[in-house]
Amino acid sequence: MNTNLYAPPRYLPFGDCALLIEFGNTISPEINLKVITLNETITQAKILGAKETVPTYRSLLIRYDPLETTYDQLVFQVRDLEKELEKPHLEAVVGKAVTIPVVYGGEYGPDLSFVAQYHRLTEEQVVKLHSDREYRVYMLGFVAGFPYLGEVAKEIATPRLETPRLNVPAGSVGIAEKQTGIYPCDAPGGWRIIGRTPLKLFNAHKQPPAFLEPGQTVKFKPIPEDEYQVFSEEQRQ
Amino acid sequence: MITFKVLKPGLFTTVQDLGRHGYLEFGVPVSGAMDHFSLAAANLLVENDPNSACLETTLAGSELQTLKKTEIAITGGECFPKINGQNVPMWKTLRIQKDDSISFGKMESGCRAYLAIRGGINTPLVLGSRSTYVRGGFRGIEGRPLQTGDTIEGFDVSPLEVEYEMPSEMVPQFPDNLIVNVILGPQVDMFTDKGIETFLSSRYIVTSEADRMGYRLEGPAIEHKAKADIISDALLPGAIQVPKNGKPILIMRDAQTTGGYPKIAVITFPDLDLVGQAKPNVGIEFVKVTIRQAHEKFRAYAKLLDTLSLTLKKKK
């Protein structure tokens, strides 16, 4: 039913070292699934000269080495793999949801009360709406390991802060319009912070370094503050 | 083996190599030297691997005290380096003794200078690179620019038997007005013909909002067809984003890996070195090239770097 899916996808040059393939210009699981599937297909195909890929909401970037391939050659090879996207079994590749424990509100989620007031809800209702559904990891970006998750229930979709905070603590869980996300490290940011997870979402000394990857599903689980401390201890070990 | 002690940190000095590759999908920027050619050249002048870690100084350089006899080379923007107060040449192997002080003068042309030490700087590898990424707190010196009192370690290597010098005709020039090659796209179709014409026929000026993450440019506004935002997608260094106000933003080496403004064009890889040396008030004109033309230039650039060690003048 999605009319926002480009047919066929658009192949666009991104400078002299990359190719961008756009599947649409909206946020939708259907478009993102195409991106993730093509990404996996390309990675497995080990195309000569393709160095790395960046899956995002609605497009896939392929960085290549112009000494090993040409733009036209790469487009030709990727178009050939495009038919893999139609195979139905790939639609089923959605793993079990990853659970993210979160302490909502208070000092951990300074904007929870604002989000509740903005929508004329109680804080408990906001927490329930946020933690009741599974979210898709659409992409990682902004800072190392930051997952863009969607979509939140429209009852709690909230605009960003007018003036971003200079420092949002690592683990903070925020809402920006219909997206929700988690800050992997201390960073400036304008998302409405409703809670915090003790999980470490990025570790440069692990492979892969990011805890989540695009295409996965996650679910938030409200936990009391004392459990946060226990989790934090475990994460440190 | 501690080689230097930092007496003055300078404006913004970090440890960099040729970057952290293969982790964009996790949101990790490439980082690395803003001017690859100058960093690689500095390394080759002391017989290092071209990807060894160096210090990248910005405009006002650091002052360092040498704790160990070694060899260094200084390249990049013209910065009038001194050893114990005496002027020394750039683009050449320099022998330094214990207790020598190294300092930099005012940056005349260019914006960034590179200091290589024999054997390279020894800081921990993070995801395969020694480049500092300040936003993510990635190493270098504790994930931040140098501070007074920091120490910089080198590797234990044998002294150089020969000295090298870059032939003067190969030393890059960093003029105050740049002509920069771009390939239009990926989202050039979000701009009007008039907007594209404005972009390709105007001179843009680097503002003071310019750092390792990106440069904001001032100049004639580029007209969008309608919307000035897209669903966030991937960014690479060299991308030229145009937000609603029509003023271009150049994405540089430390930029975040995704962004939500349409990209009218992308600077070609070899020309990114030149842009990496642009300081505030430098003018930039963009020239459209085809992918085929860009790849010819890319091959020439790769060959230049590959053969650079052979073209250096050598003396016993």
| pLDDT 10s digits, B162-194 | 999 999 999 999 999 999 999 999 999 999 999
Q: Is B308 inside any structural domain?
A: no
Q: Which of A16, A64, A200 to mutate to test the interface with B (most CBs of B within 10 A)?
A: A16
d(CA B210, CA A7): 39
Chain B contact present for A214, CB below 8 A: yes
Identity of residue A91: E
Evaluate if residue A1 carries a pLDDT over 50. no
B185 contact residues in A (CB cutoff 8 A): 12-14, 20
CATH of the domain at B205: 2.40.100.10
Q: Examine the domain organization and report whether B278 and B156 are in the same domain.
A: no
Q: Is B136 inside any structural domain?
A: yes
Contact B93, B152 (CB under 8 A): no
Chain B contact present for A145, CB below 8 A: yes
User: Would you give the distance in Å from CA B252 to the centre of its chain?
Assistant: 9
Contact B103, B82 (CB under 8 A): yes
Q: Examine the domain organization and report whether B151 and B266 are in the same domain.
A: no
Q: Examine the domain organization and report whether B149 and B258 are in the same domain.
A: no
Task: State which residues of chain B have pLDDT below 50.
Answer: none
Contacts with B105 (C-beta within 8 Å, 6 or more apart), sequence order: B79, B80, B81, B82
Q: What is the ipTM of this complex?
A: 0.95
Contact A213, A136 (CB under 8 A): no
Contact B259, B237 (CB under 8 A): no
Evaluate if residue A87 carries a pLDDT over 80. no
SS3 state at B169: helix
The per-residue pLDDT of chain B, averaged, comes to 95
Evaluate if residue A2 carries a pLDDT over 60. no
Chain B contact present for A55, CB below 8 A: yes
Question: Cα-atom radius of gyration of chain B, to the nearest Å?
Answer: 20
Chain B contact present for A25, CB below 8 A: yes
Q: Is B196 inside any structural domain?
A: yes
d(CA A145, CA A164): 20
CB atoms B258 and A142 under 8 Å: yes
d(CA B187, CA B202): 19
Q: Examine the domain organization and report whether B152 and B185 are in the same domain.
A: no
Q: Taking the model in full, what pTM does it have?
A: 0.93
Q: Is A205 exposed, middle or buried (0-12, 13-18, 19+ CB in 10 A)?
A: exposed
Q: Is B195 inside any structural domain?
A: yes
Local structure of residue A106 (DSSP, 8 states)? G
Residue of B nearest to A137 (CA): B26
Q: Domains of chain A (ranges plus CATH)?
A: 5-92 (3.30.1360.40), 98-236 (2.40.100.10)
Mean predicted confidence (pLDDT) in A183-207: 93
Q: Examine the domain organization and report whether B216 and B255 are in the same domain.
A: yes
User: Shortest CA distance to B74 belongs to which of B36, B98, B45, B37?
Assistant: B45
d(CA B46, CA B28): 30
Counting the structural domains of chain B, the total is 2
d(CA A208, CA A229): 25
Q: Examine the domain organization and report whether B92 and B194 are in the same domain.
A: no
